[in-house]
C-alpha cells in the first residue's frame, strides 16, 4: 500500500503510464459477451494475469484490478452480491500476483447503474454505504491506490470518494466520462468536476473512455486551468465501429501514441488507454511520452484562481424570476 505523499512524489518523476483496456482484451481472450466479468476472470485467472504482465512489460506502472463492477448492486444482477468480499479480494490478489513489485495495483470502482433520488429511489447515504462495502474489501485485499472511473455522475463520484475516505487514507484517483457536448451524461463540465473533486481530497483527477486521445485534449485543457492536483487521461483507441458484426477500434498504436503527446502537453501527467487499447498501444504510448516533461502542478494556481474577479452586468429591463434553493447544489 502507498501513502498519499508517496503517490505525489511518484508522480513528480514525469509522465506516469497506466495500463490499457481490460474488457476488450479479455473478450479477445475468450470472455463471452453478457457474462459477469468478475466471475469469468476468477474462473480464468491466467487471462487477466497474462494481460497485466504484458502491460507492465510494455511500460505500465499501475494496473487496474478487474473489480470494475464489483459493487453489491451490479453483482446482484448475476445473483453474486453475497460473494462481494470473496470476488473483490481474489481479483486484487490476482493482479498483485501478476505484477509483483513491478507496478502498483488500483482497486477499481465505477457506477452502480441505479439513479439517485429523485431521479431514482437510491439515496445518497445508501450509495455511500454500497461503495463503502466494496472499498473496504479492496483495501483489506491490499490494493495500493483507488481508481473511481468511467463516472457519468459527479454526485455518484462524490459518494464513491467519500466512501473510500471513510475506509482508509490511500491515494484516490477519479476519472469521468464526457459526452460530445463537453459535459457528462448528467451535465457536469470538466471545470466543475475538477474543482469539486480536488476539494474533496482526490489525489488525481481526469477523464477516461468515450473518445480517442485527440478529442480528449480540450477536456484536459479545461481541467488544467483549475487543477491543483495531477490530471489523468485514459482515452479509447478512437471511437468504436461495427465491422462484420464485431466492434472494432481503428486507431493504431502509432496514431494513439502521437495524439497522446498532445494530452501531456495539455496538462495530463497520468496517462493510459481505455477501450480498444492493446499492449501495443501502451508500448507505443510509453515510448512516445517517456521523455516528455509534464506541465507543472502547483498550489500557487489555487491562490491565483481565488484572486480572480468577474464582472457581471445585470439589467432590470426584462422579466425577473426568483430561482432560490431549488438549484443549490449543496
Asked whether the beta carbons of 120 and 112 are under 8 A apart, the reply is no
What's the pLDDT at 310? 46
Is residue 314 scored above 60 in pLDDT? no
Query: What is the tens place of the pLDDT at every residue in 133-171?
Result: 999 999 999 999 999 999 999 999 999 999 999 999 999
What pLDDT does residue 327 have? 46
- Closest C-alpha to 329, from 189, 205, 196, 229: 196
**Would the pLDDT of 178 be above 80?**
yes
Is residue 306 within 8 A of residue 299, CB to CB? The reply is: no
pLDDT, mean over the chain: 92
Query: According to DSSP H, which parts of 13-83 are helical?
Result: 23-28, 37-43, 45-58, 72-76
Q: pLDDT, tens digit, for every residue of 98-133?
A: 999 999 999 999 999 999 998 899 999 999 999 999
Domains of the chain by residue range: 4-327
Angle between helices 253-266 and 213-224 (to 10 degrees): 10
Grid cell 452502480 in the structure block, residue: 112
First to last CA, the chain: 33
What does the DSSP assignment read for 73-136?
HHHHTTT-GGGHHHHHHHHHHHHHHHHTTSSEEEEEE---S-PBTTTSSB-HHHHHHHHHHHHH
Mean pLDDT on 2-9: 96
Select from 3.20.20.330, 3.40.50.300, 3.40.50.1220, 1.10.357.10 the CATH code of 4-327: 3.20.20.330
Beta-bridge mates of residue 87: none
Q: Which residues of 34-60 are buried (b: 16+ CB within 10 A; e: fewer)?
A: eebbbebbbeeeebbbebbbbbbebbb
**If you average pLDDT over residues 285-296, what whole number do you get?**
95
pLDDT of residue 299: 54
Residue 261: name the closest of 205, 216, 206 by CA.
216
Residue 18 DSSP label: B
What is the tens place of the pLDDT at every residue in 183-237?
999 999 999 999 999 999 999 999 999 899 999 999 999 999 999 999 999 999 9
Taking only the tens place, the pLDDT of each residue in 236-246 is: 999 888 888 78
C-alpha cell at 294: 509534464
User: How many beta carbons lie within 10 A of that of residue 301, not counting itself?
Assistant: 15
Cα–chain center distance at 312: 35
Per-residue pLDDT tens over the stretch 44-89: 999 999 999 999 999 999 999 999 999 999 999 999 999 999 999 9
- Number of helices and strands (H, E) in the chain? 13, 10
For residues 232 and 216, what is the distance between their CA atoms, to the nearest angstrom?
A: 11
Residue 324 has pLDDT above 80, yes or no: no
315, pLDDT greater than 70: no
Q: How is 293-319 classified by DSSP, letter by letter?
A: -PPP--THHHHHHHT---------SS-
Q: What is the pLDDT of residue 302?
A: 54
**For position 330, what pLDDT does the model report?**
41
Amino acid at each position: 500500500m502507498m501513502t498519499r505523499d508517496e503517490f505525489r512524489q511518484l508522480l513528480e518523476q514525469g509522465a506516469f503510464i497506466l495500463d490499457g483496456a481490460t474488457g476488450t482484451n479479455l473478450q479477445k481472450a475468450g470472455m463471452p459477451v453478457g457474462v459477469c466479468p468478475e466471475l469469468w476472470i476468477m474462473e480464468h485467472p491466467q487471462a487477466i494475469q497474462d494481460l497485466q504482465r504484458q502491460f507492465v512489460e510494455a511500460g505500465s506502472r499501475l494496473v487496474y484490478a478487474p473489480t470494475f463492477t464489483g459493487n453489491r448492486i451490479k453483482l446482484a444482477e448475476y445473483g453474486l452480491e453475497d460473494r462481494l468480499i470473496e470476488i473483490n479480494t481474489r481479483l486484487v490478489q490476482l493482479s498483485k500476483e501478476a505484477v509483483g513489485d513491478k507496478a502498483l495495483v488500483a482497486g477499481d470502482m465505477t457506477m452502480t447503474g441505479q439513479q439517485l433520488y429523485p431521479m431514482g429511489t437510491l439515496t445518497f447515504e445508501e450509495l455511500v454505504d454500497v461503495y463503502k462495502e466494496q472499498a473496504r474489501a479492496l483495501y483489506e485485499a491490499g490494493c495500493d491506490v483507488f481508481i473511481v472511473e468511467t463516472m457519468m455522475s459527479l454526485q455518484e463520484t462524490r459518494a464513491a470518494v467519500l466512501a473510500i475516505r471513510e475506509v482508509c487514507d490511500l491515494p484516490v484517483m477519479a476519472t469521468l466520462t464526457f459526452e460530445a457536448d463537453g459535459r457528462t451524461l448528467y451535465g457536469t463540465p470538466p471545470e466543475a468536476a475538477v474543482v469539486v473533486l480536488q476539494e474533496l481530497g482526490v489525489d488525481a483527477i481526469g477523464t477516461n473512455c468515450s473518445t480517442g486521445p485527440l478529442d480528449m485534449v480540450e477536456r484536459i485543457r479545461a481541467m488544467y486551468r483549475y487543477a491543483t492536483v495531477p490530471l489523468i487521461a485514459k482515452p479509447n483507441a478512437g471511437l468504436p465501429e461495427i465491422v462484420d458484426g464485431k466492434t472494432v477500434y481503428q486507431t493504431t498504436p502509432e496514431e494513439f501514441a502521437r495524439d497522446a503527446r498532445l494530452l501531456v502537453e495539455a496538462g495530463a501527467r497520468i496517462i493510459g488507454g481505455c477501450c480498444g487499447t492493446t499492449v501495443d498501444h501502451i508500448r507505443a504510448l510509453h515510448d512516445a511520452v517517456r521523455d516528455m516533461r509534464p506541465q507543472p502542478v502547483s498550489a500557487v494556481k489555487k491562490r491565483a484562481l481565488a484572486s480572480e474577479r468577474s464582472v457581471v452586468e445585470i439589467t432590470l429591463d426584462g422579466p425577473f424570476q426568483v430561482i432560490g434553493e431549488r438549484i443549490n447544489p449543496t
